[in-house]
Amino acid sequence: MKLENEKLIDDFLAHADDLGDDIMADIGEMLGVMPFIFSILRNRPDTFALSTLADYRFSRPKSLDAKTAELVTMAAAAGAGADDCLKVHMKAALKEGASRDEILDVLQIAAMIGKTKVLASSLRRYREVCGEGQDADK
């Protein structure tokens, strides 16, 4: 790495502990709760500041309003099977103005994609083993 870039990073990380406090406050405000993972990761100020700053920016892109970002996050959490994250982001979506119907619709869309993923994969194996359009018993 170039020496001037290392210096910039070192200068940034000199403020990592204070920045971490501010990030924790912003996360609590944004989500309405402090996920336990942040309180553990916070014990490493350098990596916490770098990692959560990126996550914070990813979770609130300039191209999406906060409600839409939370609905997208819910769909991703549902698809990943991240139940605790899903709960946190459902509450955050409500906080950002999402309706119960919007939340339910997002969950149904996520479930439909999950079902389609299982069908696409398993029916490809079915076609390989049983042949397309053939009865499974033959």
> pLDDT of the chain along its 138 residues, tens only?
999 999 999 999 999 999 999 999 999 999 999 999 999 999 999 999 999 999 989 999 999 999 999 999 999 999 999 999 999 999 999 999 999 999 999 999 999 999 999 999 999 999 999 997 665 554
User: Are residues 128 and 110 part of one domain?
Assistant: yes
Query: Tokens 């403020």, residue?
Result: 15
Q: How many domains does the chain have?
A: 2
Only one residue has tokens 């709960």, namely: 87
Give the separation between CA 123 and CA 128, rounded to whole angstroms.
8
Residue 27 shares a structural domain with residue 69: no
CATH code of the domain containing 120: 1.20.1290.10
Whether 52 and 79 map to the same domain: the answer is: no
What is the reported pTM?
A: 0.82
- 107 with 50, same domain? no
If asked whether residues 68 and 118 sit together in one domain, one would say yes
pLDDT at 120: 94
- Which of the 8 DSSP states describes residue 53? H
69, 123: one domain:
yes
- Co-location of 73 and 53 in the same domain: no
Instruction: Say if residue 69 is in the same domain as residue 136.
Output: yes
Q: Is 20 exposed, middle or buried (0-12, 13-18, 19+ CB in 10 A)?
A: buried
List the domain range (segments joined by +) for residue 82: 64-138
Tell me: do 37 and 71 sit in the same domain: no
Angle at 128 between CA 122 and CA 134, to 5 degrees: 95
CB distance 77 to 86 below 8 Å = yes
Judge whether 74 and 89 are in contact, CB under 8 Å. yes
